[in-house]
């Protein structure tokens, strides 16, 4: 568990960088799910996802300690965040992405000034390559999720939820490597431990589900899911124990349910949410969360999807 004081320090560190994202409501989603539904709009965050919270906390500290080059491994959103904050801080950024990374996300990384290197399909392949580059160049590695400063930065979203939604009873969070979920757990379970925190994961990239069932971290190898930001092969060494000890439950959702959630979010709220960011809403809409009649917040973790890809998803 990351101490609440560390999350508060992160909030101070990044306050001039990030947006305090809005909480949206939808009467249609509330009626359809039988809950009072709120949507934490991290898809409206700077660089288009929650990742800027942890990346800023880590990179700004590294720069103060003399770093001139940062290196990250990312399927897209973390890379965009690291490239952006590195540019703002005046240091070089190298981002290792999968060979099939979203063209829109790669273009954004490059637009922020990051140098892109392609490697493999999984985080298990990308991270060693990023570590090698960092060692060779003297750069500082910025982990996508498995780092105390990253987790503390992501935890600031949990603090905001408690400030924005009075009497919140449950929070649903997309699960990839576990950084966002771990951060929100650390914030909420130390401030309001009675609130349910539920993870949501794609069925086809269910490393966290398998690991929770086994009681230890399980590697599942390469996976395919429309929720590319959640396509991790094994939970983090730091994040998994937090999820194992404090996550109330985990729900997996199908590819069809993720697409349907994206469509309904667009139809009901006029918001463009990427598939990874819509997994929380998909879990709520599935009815498998076990939540009924509660004030619930679904975290929409990102909105980085190309217009063509989003339009195609709406047609299918």
The confidence band for 96, taking pLDDT boundaries of 50, 70 and 90, is very high
Note whether 29 and 175 are same-domain residues: yes
Regarding whether 206 and 279 lie in a shared domain, the answer is yes
pLDDT value at 263 more than 90: yes
* Pair (135, 69) in one structural domain: yes
Q: Which residues pair with 38 in a beta bridge?
A: 25, 297
The pLDDT of 187-199, averaged and rounded, is 98
Asked if 211 is an active-site residue, the reply is no
| pLDDT band at 291; cut points 50, 70, 90 | very high
Q: Which residues pair with 141 in a beta bridge?
A: 71
Residues 187 and 59 in one domain: no
Q: Going edge to edge, which strands form the sheet with 23-25?
A: 23-25, 36-41, 295-300, 170-174, 196-202, 249-253
Sign of CA dihedral 82, 298, 3, 75: negative
Structure confidence by residue, pLDDT tens digits, 106-163: 899 999 999 999 998 777 788 899 999 999 999 999 999 999 999 999 999 999 999 9
Q: Catalytic residue among 40, 51, 58, 105, which?
A: 51
Choose the final residue of a domain: 141, 170, 191.
141
Domain count, the chain: 2
Q: What residues pair up with 253 in beta bridges, in sequence order?
A: 202
pLDDT (mean) for 225-249 = 93
Handedness of CA 101, 105, 107, 110 (dihedral sign): negative
Q: Which residues, in sequence order, are bridge partners of residue 92?
A: 69
The predicted pLDDT at position 46 comes to 95
Q: Report the C-alpha gap between 215 and 100 in whole angstroms.
A: 31
Predicted confidence band at 222 (pLDDT cuts at 50, 70, 90)?
confident
pLDDT averaged over the chain? 95
- Report the CATH number at residue 284: 3.40.50.1100
178 with 259, same domain?
A: yes
pLDDT of residue 196: 98
Does 196 share its domain with 126? no
**Residue 209 is a catalytic residue:** no
Q: Active-site residue among 49, 56, 102, 301? A: 301
**Sign (positive/negative) of CA torsion 188, 189, 194, 200?**
positive
Phi and psi at 49, nearest 5°, equal -160, 170
Are the CB atoms for 96 and 74 separated by under 8 Å? Answer: yes
What pLDDT digit, counting tens, does each position of 50-67 carry?
999 999 999 999 999 999
| 3-class secondary structure, 186 | helix
Q: What is the mean pLDDT of residues 228-257?
A: 94
> Are 227 and 117 in a shared domain?
no
Please say if the pLDDT value at position 39 is more than 80.
yes
Counting beta carbons within 10 angstroms of the beta carbon of residue 15, is it exposed (0 to 12), middle (13 to 18) or buried (19 or more)? Answer: exposed
Domain that holds residue 174: 4-50+147-315
């Amino acid at each position: 568990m990351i101490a609440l004081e560390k999350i508060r320090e992160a909030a101070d560190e990044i306050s001039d960088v990030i947006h305090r994202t809005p909480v949206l409501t939808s009467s249609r989603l509330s009626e359809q799910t039988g809950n009072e539904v709120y949507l934490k709009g991290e898809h409206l965050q700077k660089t288009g996802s929650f990742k800027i919270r942890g990346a800023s906390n880590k990179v700004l500290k590294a720069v103060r300690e003399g770093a001139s080059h940062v290196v990250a491994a990312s399927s897209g959103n973390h890379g965009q965040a690291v490239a952006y904050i590195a540019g703002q801080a005046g240091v070089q950024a190298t981002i290792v992405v999968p060979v099939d990374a979203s063209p829109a996300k790669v273009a954004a990384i490059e637009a922020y000034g990051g140098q892109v290197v392609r490697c493999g399909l999984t985080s298990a392949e990308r991270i060693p390559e990023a570590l090698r580059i960092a060692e060779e160049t003297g750069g500082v590695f910025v982990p996508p999720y498995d780092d105390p400063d990253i987790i503390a930065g992501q935890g600031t979203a949990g603090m905001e939820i408690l400030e924005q939604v009075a009497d919140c009873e449950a929070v649903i969070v997309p699960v990839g490597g576990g950084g966002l979920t771990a951060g929100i757990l650390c914030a909420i379970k130390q401030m309001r431990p009675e609130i349910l925190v539920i993870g949501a994961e794609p069925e086809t990239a269910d490393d966290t589900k398998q690991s929770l069932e086994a009681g230890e971290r399980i590697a599942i190898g390469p996976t395919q899911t429309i929720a590319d930001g959640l396509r991790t092969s094994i939970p983090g060494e730091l994040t998994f124990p937090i999820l194992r000890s404090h996550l109330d439950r985990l729900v997996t959702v199908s590819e069809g349910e993720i697409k349907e959630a994206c469509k309904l979010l667009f139809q009901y709220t006029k918001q463009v949410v990427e598939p990874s960011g819509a997994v929380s809403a998909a879990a709520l809409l599935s009815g498998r969360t076990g939540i009924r009649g509660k004030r619930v917040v679904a975290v929409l973790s990102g909105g980085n999807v190309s217009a063509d890809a989003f339009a195609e998803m709406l047609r299918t």
